[in-house]
Amino acid sequence: MVTLGVMNMHTPLAEKAIPFAIPENNWDASEASNMSESELLLYRSNLLGADLTVTNFGGGNTSAKVMERDPLTGEEVEVLWVKGSGGDIGSMGLDGFSTLYQEKLLALESHYSGDEDDDKMVGFLPHCTFNLNGRAASIDTPLHSLLPSKHIDHVHPDAIIALAASSGGEAATRELWGEEIGWLPWKRPGFTLGVQIRDFAKANPNAKGAMLAGHGIICWADTAKDCYDQTVRLIAEAAEYLNGKLESAPAFGGAVTGAREDRAEIAAGLMPRLRGLMIGDRRKVGHFSDDAATMEFVGSKDFHRLAELGTSCPDHFLRTKIAPLTLDADRLEDDAYLAQSISDYRAMYGAYYDRCKRDNSPAVRDANPVVVLVPGVGRMTFAKDKATARIAGEFYLNAINVMRGAEAVGDYIALDEQEAFDIEYWLLEEAKLQRMPAPKEMVGKVALVTGGAGGIGAAVARRMLQDGACVMLADRDEGSVETVHGDLAKAFGADVVRSVKCDVTDEAQVAAAVAECAREFGGIDVLVANAGIASSAPISETTTELWDKNFDVLSKGYFLTAKHAWPLMEGMADMGGTSIVFIGSKNAVAAAKNASAYASAKAAANHLARCLALEGADSGIRVNVVNPDAVIRGSRIWDGDWRQERAGAHGIDSGDELEEHYRQRSMLKRSVLPDDIAEATYWFASEASAKSTGNMINVDAGNAQAFTR
């Protein structure tokens, strides 16, 4: 209910700006005491990268010039160790560094005659490789090779970029550091920037570093420790300076909209609708955040003016696109408004491409917004996978911090549009994109799996994750689902798995689980209704209670999950549709002796699947059923009573004999395992079965009674 009680549902407006965090100096002399020069470089890099107030994810690079023995000539040569292409200085190991002959790097300048040679110079870098190191040198290498200093750090801390992207930044730099730190105008990374920094250092022998306008800072020292100390100190001084300015006035011109108390619900309702409108080659995964800095920004007086300007640091805008899409919180229920907003954004992006493209520019890329901002609600990001969406959001948070600081000392200056375009559509960047392997089948898709803590549920989740899906595990057993969640997160990464407590017989819990999936990932592409129970009793002993319990879980539970996931799945019709898979049972088609309640409830669910297949076809929702039989291993329904009861019904022991009994009973004489059910479920979930709906597959090692007809 977006439009109701807007005023009194907001939290009070904050009066003080959020301050910049001050980085700490974490150098441990005893830890560093026995390290080699390259190990010290790694130690310093990891310390810097681990602190998000020092540099953003994947940003920044560090170097040291080290004497090494040449493996070919045996002579001592100077080698530049510099963070290579890709990776992150916070988590990298020694193999993340490129190693290059410093002498050869310096000789490259004979091939350079000016700005227009920047791209050409990149091609020479591999010729300077020392010791056959396979780590590609990054485009920032000349920033490190041309400067004579032994140790160099180049980082992008929010507090530094805030100064670098402000009209008052140059004066503030002089006020703060005098001759110690210089100021160089914006220049995109490359050989020319390296030459400019080198020439600046030569002309200013007292300087220890330089601010790079719109970008970050580079600073140098004689030892690894001095370099680290200096980098941390400069960032701390910039942050303290900005905090002093922020104390006197509220951020972004003051607050006008407080954070809505129902913002999480609004995001859950909004994200699947936006995602369905973002037509493109592949579907996207969403990420929602309502952190304090975002809420301060989107609720501020200057929000629209600043958001429109876009981001500054190239690291930021490469992840976030030139500008975010901003939405009016009072019109979120209006479908036509949302559709028009996305379409306008795509047109704006197309116009930017047309204005800035050059003769040899790569073709226009996906025009959908990455960052969506709503006052009072927060920030949503959409990208090809969950990690990319989350990281894009974090980069926008960096951009917000930059704008807050920049506006406190002057006017925020965004990156020039043509400069932004030239980086975004840089031919070398395009070559990197073209080399990327095709994404796996399920990348961009979100699966909700009920009964996710059980043997079949966990196997289904694992199978989806293997091919790149995001998975929300829902289960009424909170402890077990958390354990499975932990195991899967360890195997596939924390970004792609979530879990929620959900009893499928409780409509409110089902609705909440669906909303959680929408908020965590942006929607649902695959629903696997799997939560089940089993019971065994002759008709005379089947109580009404037992009958109802079976129908509650197996029939009503399937109905409720499908009903609540339905609106989200319908919305993906234009993106190739969605898939519902019911985990049925052999007993849904074959009569079972002494299990009438269970078998009848399963039969009801299977017929529900056929009805939904008919109803969903127009919206691209496919509905199919996998019928397992006797999947004993890892199953929770086979624990306890049901196991005893079925063993009793067959007159055998309930231990290993039971599994053997079912194996022998099957036509193929094979045991049916959770992974077998997962494989069939995966097939129905994937595009491989795109032409199939209203069907069922038996996975029972052969059972003539269950043959469909």
Taking the complex as a whole, how short is the minimal distance between the CB of residue 215 and Zn ion, in angstroms? 6
CB-CB neighbours of 690 under 10 Å: 12
* Euclidean distance between CA atoms 14 and 392, whole angstroms: 26
In the complex with Zn ion, the residue whose CB is nearer, 59 or 269, is 59
Phi and psi at residue 636, to the nearest 5°: -85, -25
In the complex with Zn ion, the residue whose CB is nearer, 197 or 472, is 197
In the complex with Zn ion, the residue whose CB is nearer, 216 or 577, is 216
Stretch binding Zn ion (CB under 5 A), from 209-217, 362-370, 542-550, 697-705: 209-217
Residues assigned a catalytic role: 598
Q: Give the pair of three-digit tokens for residue 513.
A: 């689980």
DSSP per-residue string spanning 570-633: HTTGGGT-EEEEEE--GGGTS--TTBHHHHHHHHHHHHHHHHHHHHHGGGTEEEEEEEE----T
Query: Which positions from 593 to 622 touch Zn ion by CB under 5 A, shown as an x/- string?
Result: ------------------------------
In the complex with Zn ion, the residue whose CB is nearer, 285 or 413, is 413
Taking the complex as a whole, how short is the minimal distance between the CB of residue 313 and Zn ion, in angstroms? 8
In the complex with Zn ion, the residue whose CB is nearer, 313 or 471, is 313
Taking the complex as a whole, how short is the minimal distance between the CB of residue 192 and Zn ion, in angstroms? 14
Taking the complex as a whole, how short is the minimal distance between the CB of residue 141 and Zn ion, in angstroms? 12
Which residues on neighbouring strands pair with residue 259, listed in sequence order?
A: none
Query: Which positions from 164 to 203 touch Zn ion by CB under 5 A, shown as an x/- string?
Result: ----------------------------------------
The 3-state DSSP class for residue 318 equals helix
* Euclidean distance between CA atoms 499 and 106, whole angstroms: 54
Q: Where are the beta strands (DSSP E) in 18-74?
A: 61-69
Stretch binding Zn ion (CB under 5 A), from 13-21, 208-216, 365-373, 572-580: 208-216
Query: Which positions from 402 to 431 touch Zn ion by CB under 5 A, shown as an x/- string?
Result: ------------------------------
Stretch binding Zn ion (CB under 5 A), from 162-170, 214-222, 455-463, 607-615: 214-222
Stretch binding Zn ion (CB under 5 A), from 213-221, 293-301, 426-434, 595-603: 213-221
Stretch binding Zn ion (CB under 5 A), from 216-224, 449-457, 514-522, 561-569: 216-224
Q: Give the pair of three-digit tokens for residue 525.
A: 């592409």
Sequence-separated (6 or more) residues with CB below 8 Å from residue 471: 446, 447, 448, 449, 452, 461, 464, 465, 488, 496, 497, 498
Taking the complex as a whole, how short is the minimal distance between the CB of residue 390 and Zn ion, in angstroms? 21
In the complex with Zn ion, the residue whose CB is nearer, 187 or 390, is 187
Taking the complex as a whole, how short is the minimal distance between the CB of residue 161 and Zn ion, in angstroms? 10
Count residues contacting Zn ion (CB under 5 A)? 1
CB 41 within 8 A of CB 97: yes
Taking the complex as a whole, how short is the minimal distance between the CB of residue 272 and Zn ion, in angstroms? 36
Taking each helix axis as running N to C, give the angle between helix 507-521 and helix 263-277, from 0 to 180 degrees, rounded to the nearest 10: 60
* Euclidean distance between CA atoms 344 and 336, whole angstroms: 12
Pairing verdict, β 76-83 and 61-69: antiparallel
* Euclidean distance between CA atoms 231 and 639, whole angstroms: 60
In the complex with Zn ion, the residue whose CB is nearer, 216 or 286, is 216
In the complex with Zn ion, the residue whose CB is nearer, 164 or 554, is 164
Taking the complex as a whole, how short is the minimal distance between the CB of residue 383 and Zn ion, in angstroms? 22
Nearest residue to Zn ion on Cβ basis = 216
CB-CB neighbours of 501 under 10 Å: 16
Taking each helix axis as running N to C, give the angle between helix 37-50 and helix 224-247, from 0 to 180 degrees, rounded to the nearest 10: 20
Taking the complex as a whole, how short is the minimal distance between the CB of residue 62 and Zn ion, in angstroms? 12
Stretch binding Zn ion (CB under 5 A), from 43-51, 211-219, 322-330, 477-485: 211-219
Name residues contacting Zn ion, limited to 252-291 (CB under 5 A).
none
Q: Where are the beta strands (DSSP E) in 175-214?
A: 181-184, 209-212
In the complex with Zn ion, the residue whose CB is nearer, 216 or 571, is 216
Residue 81: its H or E element: strand 76-83
* Cα diameter, the chain: 99
* Euclidean distance between CA atoms 399 and 307, whole angstroms: 10
CB-CB neighbours of 545 under 10 Å: 9
Which residues of the shown chain bind Zn ion in the complex (CB under 5 A)? 216
